[in-house]
């Protein structure tokens, strides 16, 4: 029994020792963990202190206050009598002397103006304003201008809605946009704008008078109402007034053989300037004579690139790109030609020019187009559908030597003023068809060699207005047009190459032309 108790006591003692040992190990482990945690906390504190120190280095500063004023804005529309309500009554200011028409009415033979005043006094930002005039029962033959000088350059073409038929309800909308520099508001805050209107008594001549009288009669006894709206808007920059010519033209040549044209003397271009062109020591060459070669003409063979930086409105483009044999492409987007009178020889001998975008060309002032595209053998197509040729008197050699042209549609050409067209299509050897159905040649006196050498030309479309009664020179007009066949089957005859067969081919009157029926 005693032995068992001793054994049991030994077990108790051993168990107690083990328990004490476990407690000791646990305590040591906890102490170790505590030390580790404390060490980690220490590191975090040190790191945080360093971070805060580093952040604080760059965060020191001071506080303050700032003030700014919102730009002033003032925009007011009124007419010449300073009324701001019921802006303008129609009929407006009558300036005609037609005493047969009552003072408070308009009719064929009367004209006048619409005075508009915009007040922007005190405005401190660049701005533009849009004037919109809407007329109900707009007369068919009524014309609007943005200048007292009534010519094609100043015509305002309204947007017409309605059926469009004379005498039917028609609405005409005219929109005009003007830009004002912020500096102008304080010096000249009142801006006057005048729209001129004209209802011609006769809008045409000859047999057309009767038909236009009928149109005017359909527009009689109607009440014309007019509404005017003006809207002012802030803009970031001032755009040029496209209704007026830009009277600055500067030209400079750079070391990479680039010709830069600009309306500004302070043009910017990334290159080394080698030459500034002048006219009589004047860098602004805008007033150069319209019948002389451009000032860069002597460098034409080495110029490989042309840049037109901004809108330019030359008085003439005579020989501008003549002989630019190294030029393959040119962007003419910024070339506003509405004030150019002489466009002769413009692209003469540009044999390497393959792309020619003329979609923005305004040729309404042009009287001379002689040799305009002469010897541009690299051209394969040319879109001149937007050309206004109503004032052009000379088209001699206009497409001379354009041997690469495979098509050329001139059906929109107005040749009512044309007097001279010799060698116009000289050796256009790739042309197969040519549409001249719009040509009125009643004033033309010279058709010498007009179609000479068009060896692949099979069809020339024309109308009865292709009149050769005034022609005094038709020497070799159709020489070597071996493929040409008239609309009734009349084949080319090498013994008849003057104006004799410059007419519609019919069984009774053989000719080389084909009547266009659509």
- The yes-or-no verdict on residue 142 having pLDDT over 50 is yes
3-state SS string over 431-442? CCEEECCCCCCC
Could you tell me the sign of the dihedral formed by the alpha carbons of 155, 159, 165, 169, in that order?
Answer: negative
Distance CA 220, CA 408 (A): 43
Q: Kindly report the average pLDDT of the chain as a whole number.
A: 81
Dihedral, CA atoms, 214, 215, 216, 222, nearest 10 degrees? 120
Give phi and psi for 40, each to the nearest 5: -65, -45
Q: Cα–chain-centroid distance for residue 280?
A: 32
Q: What is the 3-state secondary structure (H, E, C) of 93-143?
A: CECCCCCCCCCCCCCCCEEEEEEEEEECCCCCCCEEEEEEEEEECCCCCCE
Residue 53 lies inside a defined structural domain of this protein: no
Position 468 pLDDT exceeds 60: yes
**Residues near 112 by beta carbon (within 8 Å), at least 6 away in sequence:** 91, 92, 93, 94, 95, 96, 106, 196, 197
Is the residue at 42 inside a domain?
no
Domain span at 186:
76-234
Q: Decide if 452 is inside a domain.
A: no
Answer yes or no: is pLDDT of 7 > 70: no
Q: SS in 3 state form for 32-84? A: HHHHHHHHHHHHHHHHHHHHHHHHHHHHCCCCCCCCCCCCCCCCEEEECCCCC
What percentage of the chain reaches a pLDDT higher than 90? 39
Question: Would you give the DSSP letter of residue 299?
Answer: G
When pLDDT is cut at 50, 70 and 90, the band that residue 109 belongs to is confident
Residue among 271, 82, 284 nearest 192 (CA): 82
Does 82 score more than 50 pLDDT?
Answer: no
Sign of torsion, CA 411 412 417 422?
negative
- Does 39 map to a domain? no
Query: What is the total count of domains within the chain?
Result: 1
Distance separating alpha carbons of residues 265 and 269, to the nearest angstrom = 12
Strands 258-262 and 127-136 come out as unpaired
For the chain, the distance separating the N- and C-terminal CA atoms, rounded to the nearest angstrom, is: 140
Look at residue 161 and tell me if it is in a domain: yes
| 337 found inside a domain | no
Q: What pLDDT score was predicted for residue 240?
A: 67
Dig out the tokens for 308 from the structure: 């037109």
pTM: 0.63
Does some domain include residue 162?
yes
Domain-embedded: residue 99 = yes
Which residue reads 């500067």 in tokens?
250
Strand 513-515's sheet: what is its strand order?
A: 433-435, 459-462, 513-515
Burial (CB count <10 Å: 0-12, 13-18, 19+), residue 135: buried
Cis peptide before 464 (omega within 30 of 0): no
pLDDT (tens digit per residue) in 190-207: 888 888 888 888 755 555
DSSP 8-state secondary structure symbol assigned to residue 201: S
- Checking if the pLDDT of 264 tops 60, the result is yes
Give the pLDDT confidence of 44-71 residue by residue, as tens digits.
544 454 444 444 445 555 666 665 567 5
Cα distances (angstroms) measured from residue 263 to each of 177, 267, 309:
21, 8, 8
């Amino acid at each position: 029994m005693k032995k068992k108790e001793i054994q049991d006591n030994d077990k108790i003692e051993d168990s107690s020792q083990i328990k004490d040992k476990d407690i000791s190990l646990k305590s040591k482990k906890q102490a170790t963990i505590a030390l580790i945690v404390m060490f980690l906390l220490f590191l975090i504190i040190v790191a945080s202190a360093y971070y805060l120190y580093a952040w604080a280095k760059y965060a020191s500063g001071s506080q303050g206050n700032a003030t700014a004023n919102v730009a002033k804005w003032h925009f007011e529309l009124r007419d010449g009598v300073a009324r701001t309500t019921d802006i303008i009554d129609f009929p407006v200011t009558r300036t005609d002397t037609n005493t047969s028409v009552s003072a408070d009415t308009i009719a064929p033979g009367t004209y006048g103006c619409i005075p508009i005043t915009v007040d922007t006094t005190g405005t401190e930002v660049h701005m533009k304003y849009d004037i919109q005039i809407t007329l109900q029962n707009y007369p068919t033959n009524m014309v609007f201008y943005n200048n007292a000088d009534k010519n094609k350059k100043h015509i305002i073409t309204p947007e017409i809605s309605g059926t469009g038929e004379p005498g039917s309800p028609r609405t005409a909308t005219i929109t005009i946009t003007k830009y004002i520099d912020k500096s102008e508001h304080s010096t000249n805050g009142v801006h006057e704008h005048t729209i001129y209107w004209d209802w011609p008594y006769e809008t045409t001549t000859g047999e057309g008078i009767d038909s236009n009288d009928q149109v005017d009669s359909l527009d009689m006894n109607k009440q014309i109402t007019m509404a005017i709206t003006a809207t002012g808007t802030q803009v970031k920059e001032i755009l040029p007034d496209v209704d007026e010519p830009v009277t600055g033209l500067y030209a400079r040549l750079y070391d990479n053989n680039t010709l830069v044209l600009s309306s500004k003397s302070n043009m910017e271009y990334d290159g080394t300037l080698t030459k500034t062109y002048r006219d009589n020591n004047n860098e602004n060459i805008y007033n150069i004579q319209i019948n002389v070669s451009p000032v860069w003409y002597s460098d034409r063979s080495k110029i490989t690139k042309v840049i037109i930086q901004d809108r330019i409105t030359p008085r003439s483009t005579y020989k501008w790109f003549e002989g630019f044999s190294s030029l393959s492409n040119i962007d003419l987007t910024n070339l506003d030609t509405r004030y150019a009178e002489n466009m002769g020889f413009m692209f003469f001998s540009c044999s390497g020019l393959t792309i020619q975008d003329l979609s923005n060309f305004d040729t309404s002032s042009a009287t001379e187009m002689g040799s305009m595209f002469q010897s541009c053998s690299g051209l394969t197509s040319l879109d001149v559908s937007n050309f206004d040729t109503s004032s052009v008197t000379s088209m001699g050699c206009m497409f001379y030597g354009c041997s690469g042209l495979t098509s050329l549609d001139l059906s929109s050409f107005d040749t009512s003023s044309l007097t001279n067209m010799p060698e116009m299509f000289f050796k256009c050897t790739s042309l197969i068809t040519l549409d001249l159905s719009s040509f009125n040649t009643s004033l033309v006196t010279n058709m010498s060699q007009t179609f000479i050498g068009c060896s692949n030309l099979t069809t020339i479309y024309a109308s009865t207005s292709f009149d050769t009664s005034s022609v005094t020179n038709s020497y070799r007009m159709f020489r070597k047009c071996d493929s040409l066949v008239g609309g009734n089957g009349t084949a080319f005859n090498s013994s008849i190459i003057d104006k004799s067969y410059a007419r519609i081919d019919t069984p009774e009157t053989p000719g080389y032309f084909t009547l266009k029926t659509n």
